Amino acid sequence: MTGDPDAPSIWVRVIADDRFRAALVEDPLRALAEVGPTTVSAEQVRRLEEMTADERLELVTAIVREAHWRGGQARFGRLGSDGRLGGPDNPDIA
């Protein structure tokens, strides 16, 4: 959607900008028109437009959750499914 090679991708914007995230769920075309330079393919836009608002909410929630989960693992090491450090094999977790 932009020729700017430094423009963030749509998913980076979804993770970093909660107002954009909410706008994207409500109306993807308007959100993209108002956000400024963003890298997004026509296929991504088409797929978002074909989804219901509930489906878009589920998608962006999963993307944000995964990004934060991976960030936590990168910073703190293995995490258990309940979010505790050390993962399920950690003998210190009772």
pTM, entire model: 0.76
- pLDDT tens, N- to C-terminus, the chain (94 residues): 556 778 999 999 999 999 999 999 999 999 999 998 999 999 999 999 999 999 999 999 999 999 988 888 888 887 777 767 766 655 555 4
DSSP β-bridge partners for residue 9: 39
pLDDT of residue 33: 94
Contact 7, 37 (CB under 8 A): yes
H-type alpha helices, the chain: 10-16, 18-26, 28-35, 42-50, 53-76
User: Which DSSP state fits 50?
Assistant: H
The answer to whether 78 and 86 have CB atoms below 8 angstroms apart is yes
- CB distance 13 to 40 below 8 Å: no
